[in-house]
Amino acid sequence: MCVQDKDSIIVKGEKYCLYTMPLDSYWTRWKPKPKIRLLKTTCWRGYVATWEIFRDNLYLVSIKFNAIDGDFGLGYLFPQNTGKVKADWYTGELKIPIGNQLYQEFMEDPVYDSDWFVNKKEGKVIRQQYKANY
């Protein structure tokens, strides 16, 4: 298995890598994930998304989704929305690596100076914490 392509997240105008996949918690029995086509082994989930934390809320800003019938953006998954989508379905922890890459084990995600953990409940920030990795 390969290290997978990561989503990204924008916080206060700065773009970071995101080690969490908030969209995966959107899919349910009532909203199943659309069928994907596998274009490369570094993206088994079939999409790469950009997120933003704005005014303590999490938003899905853009997505490239590799569906069976082509590549699509936000309108494919959220046709009722124009622009970014408030991720009020997401409750959990976002892991954002910060700083310089310290090392990377074979087929593992790189380890950075520190990790920024942002806890969300229904898409809203409820707690933040930093953890040094050195």
User: How many Cβ atoms sit within 10 Å of the Cβ of residue 53?
Assistant: 21
Decide: 67 and 37 in contact? Cβ < 8 Å.
Answer: yes
User: In this predicted structure, what is the pLDDT of residue 18?
Assistant: 92
* pLDDT on residue 90: 92
What is the end-to-end Cα distance of the chain in Å, rounded?
27
Q: Please report the pLDDT score of residue 39 as a whole number.
A: 64
* Rounded mean pLDDT for each run of 10 residues along the chain, 134 residues in total: 78 92 87 74 79 94 82 83 91 89 71 84 86 83
CA distances to 4, 28, 33, 46, 129 from 109, rounded to whole Å, are 8, 27, 25, 18, 20
SS3 20: coil
Per-residue pLDDT, 109: 73
What token pair was written down for 33? 């994930």
- Report residue 131 CA to chain centroid gap: 20
Number of Cβ within a 10 Å radius of residue 34? 16
